[in-house]
Structure 1
Amino acid sequence: MHKYPQDFPKATKNPHIMEKFGDRRTDNYFWLRDRENPQVIDYLKQENAYTEKVMAPVKELQEQIFQEMKSRIKEDDSSYPAKMGPYTYSTRFEKGAQYPLFVRTKIGSDKEEILLNEPELSKGHTYYDTTGPRISPNDMMMAYGEDTVGRRFYDIHFVDLKTGKKLPNVIEKATGNLVWADDNETVFFAQQNPETLRSEKIYRYNLKTQKKELVYHEKDETFSCYVLKSLSRKYIYITSQATLTSEVHYLPANKPQDAFKVFAPRQRELEYAVNDDGQQFYITTNKDAKNYRVMTAKPGHTAVADWKELIAHRQDTYISDVTVFKHYLVLDIRRNGLTEIEIRDIHGNNPFTIPFSDQSFMAGVGDNREFDTEWLRYEYESMRLPPSVYDFNLKSHEQILRKTREVPNFDPNKYRTERVFITARDGVKVPVSLLMKKDFRADATAPMLVYGYGSYGANMDPWFSSSFFSLVDRGFVFAKAHIRGGSEMGREWYDTGRTKKKMNTFYDFIDVTEGLLKQQYAKKGHVYAMGGSAGGLLMGAVMNLRPELYNGVVAQVPFVDVITTMLDESIPLTTGEYDEWGNPNEQEAYDYIRTYSPYDNVKDQKYPNVLVTTGLHDSQVQYWEPAKWVSKLRDHNKGDSVILLKTDMEAGHGGASGRFDALKDTSIEFAFILQMDDRK
């Protein structure tokens, strides 16, 4: 292990005392939260300079990795067109462009119409993101939102596609969630709270009158709301969602001036989502069904008591989504930790599951925009196979491969994937997806990167990412740990990894790492861990619990100051997360979070090498959490490991916006891991 320069910037200590339930916490770096303070900006810049200095020896390696990753991107790539009405829609990149063109072509014509020219629109902006085009029912008007800062506030613009002219109408600072009513002049859109960023209001806006009216205000701070239109296009829905509870309001799409009606009033811990075939409603719900079941209801009779079961609850099958076509139901399901696609007729009968051959894969319903069709579009990929788009005939079960993403300079046959189950300390078996070279032998000589998330019921499925081959080609095993807190193994998997069972998430990650070492997938002292956002919280907790297990940790935009953030209701997205982490205003929850909150549990010990990344404009995890944590880690670190902070001064939670700029972030992270492992 090389000695690295330890002349890191030292943030001023300015003790800030916080007390609750008799517990006194001192935060020396609380002052870093003042974004407007020039000293804060100066400090972040000093940290960037220090990171650059420490990583100077691998500057060339970083560039090499960037070029490798870039070479695996087809520069003039395009999506396979999706049919909607008389047009097909797709996106395509031109060579060298960071951003795509959104285009459409009239069926029967070969004349392409450019809807959104992002390379042109992004000029003069260091960050640029759009919602993509939102097309009116008569195909003649387009709405789109654009964000030039990275805080996910979109300004919505309108274009008359007949003339190609942009209208003067602009809706400012919306979420980008928008649907058209059938009259082609009314849109419904969501707006977030300017401070907490919670999506809380739905407005009706008329393009001709320019009248904007509030139609729904979600006042409960633990809920967020959004608006959507069904595939049948018969109804517009407002869904209000908390972690464990939902409520839906609905409106016929051809009556935009009517008032939304509540579908079924909210009940604590009752979750439901509504869809329709124009005749009746299909409800996916956890009512007496932990893994969800599908029920139906008739218009005018939508109360819970009126729901009738169509597809029963199954102990071994988690229903994550249902797509309703005119004559078929298509279910996204999970069984034994893997995603599958189940097809039934509209009456819920004749189930058929599309068969797949890989050990570890990811499959899901794709871009379907037509309601009355026999063709389902779905997508399939694995950690070694790039995403493929298939069209599947729901009647004959015929299957057509439409497109496999081209990955230049890449041969999937050089690699293999494995799926293993590691038994955690409480006897639960945790699935792990592994990617390695084809000739890999488990003889305890390889370095390994373990990746995890484990929060919000979100799944870290074994999807394809061309970046990781830069590590695998250098002998690394890449392990994706499907730990509790996600929903990979069903709803129970999520419930046993949140609030008072959150420690399971951290223990699972540690136990998976130890299990893989025991099975000789990696060499002790050459194991690395990576996670972002709530996965960064995972990194922080694991480092406090077992710092010696990892030689290096990459924590991307990490949520590490859990108690302080969860007690501050002015911080974005706090109140909506009490069912995820617990509400620290209640002593039992406070005491439990206190046991794992990474920032509060930093102690005198030898920490691994750490690279922490953040974005100054991050809307999900504020930049000061990573900044404070790095300073505190250094205060307590008893070894000579290197602890680095890299702040993107232009970007938000998702990092850089261009497709090549985003690779630069990854190349820095990989160069750091290889630097710590003394590898080129």
Structure 2
Amino acid sequence: MATVILKGSMSKLISSEWIGNIHNKFSLPYQLLSRRLKFNWPFNRKDYISTPKAAIKPWTISVHGKTISDPYHWLKDQGNAAVMKYLQQENSYAKKVMTNTKSIQSKLVRTMSDIEAQLTVPPEILEKYEYYMKEESAASLPIYCRRKLDSNLVDNNEEVILDLNDLSKRHQHCCVGQLKVSPSHRLVAYTFDTNGKENYEAHIIDLSGNQPNVIDVIRDAFAVEFASNEDSIIYTKQNYRRRPYQVWLRAFDSRLTDRLLFQEDDEKYFLHIVCTKNHRFLTINLNSKSSSEVWALDTEKLKSKPVLIKERELDCECYVDHSNNHFYILTNDKSSGKYKVMMAPDQNPGRDNWKELQAMDKDSASDSTDTLLDDMDIFADYCVLYQRENLEPQITIVNLHSPLQCQTFKLPIGTIASASNFTFSADTVRFSYSSPLIADTFYELDMRTMALNNLTPSTIGLDSDQYSFYISHATSKDGCKIPISLCHRKDIVLNSSTPLLAIVYGAYGMELNRQFSVQNMCLLKAGWVLAFCHVRGGGEFGRHWYYQGRQLNKMNSFYDFLACINEVQDQGYTKPTLTSCKGTSAGGLIVAHLCNNHPNKIAAAIMKVPHVDILGTMLDQSLPLTVEEYEEWGDLNSSHVFDYICSYCPYTNIQRNLYPSLLLTASYNDNRVPYWSPVRFMAKLRAAQRDYQSQHEGATTNNKIYHILKTNLSSGHYGTAGDEGLKEAAFEIAFLHKALDLPDELLNTFN
């Protein structure tokens, strides 16, 4: 922090940001000077906390004839001691600002831990074994286990396959990417990352003995699958940009060298492998942000040439599985943007031989033009379609031998997801249902009779008789109707006196997550309104909804979110001083844009690992995802695209204005949103606030406005789990409570 040395009786250090218009006239005694200037010097305030101030180091770059200046570019130098010192200063500052919320944070952690301890996931029965996860406590990490079943499905002794708590003792960060079981159940392979950078390695374990025995380790393996004969394993490798691009075959016979099976050189395409459910084929999936290409290899002839199922085509994606000598292809129609299921014979699966699976007869409820297909599950005799109609989920069961004999099962507003469903010959399908009010509840649906069995011992959540969950709409700038999923206590009076949290994502064609979380449960019990804003750029209404909020249409996402904020305030749900919002990753971009352009609309915002320097990341082709991201944001080699992104990039457009309270989080090892994106945003924002105060004499930042940056120095994009994850969630709730200056009485509801 810059300082000024005062002589004589005023020989104290004073922060330059407090100097104002004093200049160098320091001849008056300290007490008299303080009275004339009508404010207290910082060292005279017991509650004063020194705000971190990043050094300014000139740096410029010229792009398309435009000079871009970035005085905080030096913060990109990961590993630099000065950068680490600054991050530690910000973390210390965050802790000090929130000191008076320690007790509520501890209370919240206990409450959320108690709730999470009640959450269960039913075991998956796969042939002669039952596989499941368990946790010793809510603060612990998962333990992967299995039990062998006899012919009467009676439990035998438990086998521990993998204990993440043991791994975490050896590694500061530990995240399992995949866990695969071989066809005979003798071998298990798992991939894990120890630094948050998604640099995975694979361990292959033999479970045939009394104790799990590691028989091989592949140091750079992003994804794995077992060969049919279990004498080898297939895995993918990443290149120097951390893009999976090669498929390799490794024999467990150490005398043989690994064999390259496939390679993809286009930087826009990430390579992924997965076996079909019947284990007949290995599919090689090449995915960009908006297109796919799929090849297939016979798992018993892995050294043969792969067969092309679908070539890459802009704005056309697909996923492939296999049953009854046919490939089933989930793909989107380019004209309508909607997904459908196609069939192709496995002996000649080229595009010319595709035909649509006619699964809906004229009387089917699923034949509505408003019905969207999200996913499919293929079994020996059935195809399961996971669908949505006006944001309400439903499941359609299709008999593959009589496709027109389909039945649809509708569920209340919420989110459904396929469970593991590994057994190809099964006549039942498992799925989970969740909403902001109800924790993941697992069901088993009999595909023959449509009988539904609840696998969750007791439903965890909030009483639907006391809480409402429904959809309203806002009107965006161009007249488009934007859905808002609203959730709150029924006894709340809509008189603009209620705290509200608006949640947004709006990118990559992904639907906004409305699933249950213990964090949201605490807010709802405390009387908050949750508003899930389904802006364009997400996937709520198919590909066209997505296309209207990406690339040169990205401004629609910002207009939509502003319309949602205006709507909830105009309808009396809340008012600006009680409105907060939250965006994670690409959702943070939308929140930051609102803060830059309409800071008076909200009182607080949380941006978790936010993509707030879209210009800086897209100009840096050394980053792992830049080239692939062209299809989402645009190619900055075009001056038109460059100018468009410049017009909305939050970091570029920080204003000299008074901002709402902000909590930004960063992860030091994040490969998706570099830590320096939110870190530099906060550094530049602090400078803009100081400039605003110096330009507006007498203007000071409200003592109840807080700007906090927290960097996790050991994790990646997805943060931490277990006890640390609960602590982060508690910190966020406490921040919202503090930033909105809510009465202490609300704290009593966190029980």
TM score, norm. by length of structure 1: 0.95
Measured after TM superposition, the shift of residue 71 of structure 1 is 2.2
More divergent stretch after superposition (430-439 vs 305-314): 305-314
Distance across 1 between alignment mates of 2:513 and 2:583: 14
- Does residue 231 (structure 1) correspond to residue 277 (structure 2)? The answer is yes
Measured after TM superposition, the shift of residue 413 of structure 1 is 4.6
- Does residue 647 (structure 1) correspond to residue 711 (structure 2)? The answer is yes
Native 8 Å contact 1:567 1:584 kept in 2 = yes
Q: Which amino acid aligns with 2:638?
A: E
- SS, match of residue 686 in structure 2: helix
- Does residue 336 (structure 1) correspond to residue 383 (structure 2)? The answer is no
Q: Which amino acid aligns with 2:310?
A: A
- Does residue 90 (structure 1) correspond to residue 143 (structure 2)? The answer is no
Measured after TM superposition, the shift of residue 432 of structure 1 is 1.4
Measured after TM superposition, the shift of residue 315 of structure 1 is 3.7
- SS, match of residue 593 in structure 1: helix
Equivalent residue, structure 2, for 1:422: 474
Measured after TM superposition, the shift of residue 211 of structure 1 is 2.7
Q: Which amino acid aligns with 2:611?
A: F
More divergent stretch after superposition (136-145 vs 100-109): 100-109
Equivalent residue, structure 2, for 1:63: 106
Structure 2 CA distance for partners of 1:306 and 1:5, relative to 1, 3 Å: farther
Measured after TM superposition, the shift of residue 173 of structure 1 is 2.7
Distance across 2 between alignment mates of 1:492 and 1:315: 14
Native 8 Å contact 2:236 2:273 kept in 1 = yes
Aligned residue among 708, 727, 736 for 1:673: 736
Distance across 2 between alignment mates of 1:516 and 1:160: 57
- 5 Å-filtered alignment, 1:112-261, equals 112-131=158-177, 133-163=179-209, 164-175=211-222, 177-194=223-240, 196-209=241-254, 211-261=257-307
Deviations 1:171-227 (A, max 9, x none): 01322x211110112221222223x22222222111224532222221111111100
- SS, match of residue 54 in structure 2: coil
Structure 2 CA distance for partners of 1:412 and 1:150, relative to 1, 3 Å: farther
- Does residue 310 (structure 1) correspond to residue 362 (structure 2)? The answer is no
Measured after TM superposition, the shift of residue 441 of structure 1 is 2.1
Native 8 Å contact 2:116 2:138 kept in 1 = no
Native 8 Å contact 1:366 1:378 kept in 2 = yes
Measured after TM superposition, the shift of residue 538 of structure 1 is 1.4
Measured after TM superposition, the shift of residue 278 of structure 1 is 4.2
Aligned alpha-carbon RMSD (Å): 1.9
Equivalent residue, structure 1, for 2:145: 103
Measured after TM superposition, the shift of residue 267 of structure 1 is 2.7
Measured after TM superposition, the shift of residue 418 of structure 1 is 2.3
- Does residue 592 (structure 1) correspond to residue 644 (structure 2)? The answer is yes
Distance across 2 between alignment mates of 1:413 and 1:212: 60
Distance across 2 between alignment mates of 1:563 and 1:595: 10
Native 8 Å contact 1:294 1:310 kept in 2 = yes
Aligned residue among 7, 16, 33 for 2:59: 16
Distance across 2 between alignment mates of 1:172 and 1:636: 46
Equivalent residue, structure 1, for 2:7: none
Alignment size in residue pairs: 671
Deviations 1:107-156 (A, max 9, x none): 22422211112222322332212235311111111111222211111221
Native 8 Å contact 1:74 1:406 kept in 2 = no
- SS, match of residue 83 in structure 1: strand
Higher relative contact order (CA 8 A, sep 6+): 1
Equivalent residue, structure 2, for 1:545: 597
Deviations 1:296-326 (A, max 9, x none): 1112322212211224897422222221111
Distance across 2 between alignment mates of 1:664 and 1:464: 18
Higher gyration radius (CA): 2
Indicate the percent of aligned positions where both proteins have the same amino acid. Answer: 30
Aligned residue among 403, 406, 416 for 2:456: 403
Native 8 Å contact 2:49 2:93 kept in 1 = no
Native 8 Å contact 1:388 1:404 kept in 2 = no
Moved over 6 A (4+): none
Native 8 Å contact 1:387 1:405 kept in 2 = no
- 5 Å-filtered alignment, 1:379-528, equals 379-403=432-456, 407=460, 413-528=465-580
Q: Which amino acid aligns with 2:435?
A: S
- SS, match of residue 220 in structure 1: coil
Residue ranges of structure 2 left out of the alignment (5+ in a row): 1-44, 360-366, 693-699, 745-751
Equivalent residue, structure 2, for 1:42: 85
Q: Which amino acid aligns with 1:663?
A: L
- SS, match of residue 98 in structure 1: coil
Distance across 2 between alignment mates of 1:267 and 1:379: 33
Measured after TM superposition, the shift of residue 272 of structure 1 is 2.3
Native 8 Å contact 1:554 1:612 kept in 2 = yes
Native 8 Å contact 1:337 1:490 kept in 2 = no
- Does residue 366 (structure 1) correspond to residue 419 (structure 2)? The answer is yes
Distance across 2 between alignment mates of 1:203 and 1:30: 39
- SS, match of residue 69 in structure 1: helix
Distance across 1 between alignment mates of 2:398 and 2:385: 8
Distance across 2 between alignment mates of 1:543 and 1:36: 31
Native 8 Å contact 1:157 1:166 kept in 2 = no
Equivalent residue, structure 2, for 1:355: 410
Residue ranges of structure 1 left out of the alignment (5+ in a row): none
Measured after TM superposition, the shift of residue 481 of structure 1 is 0.9
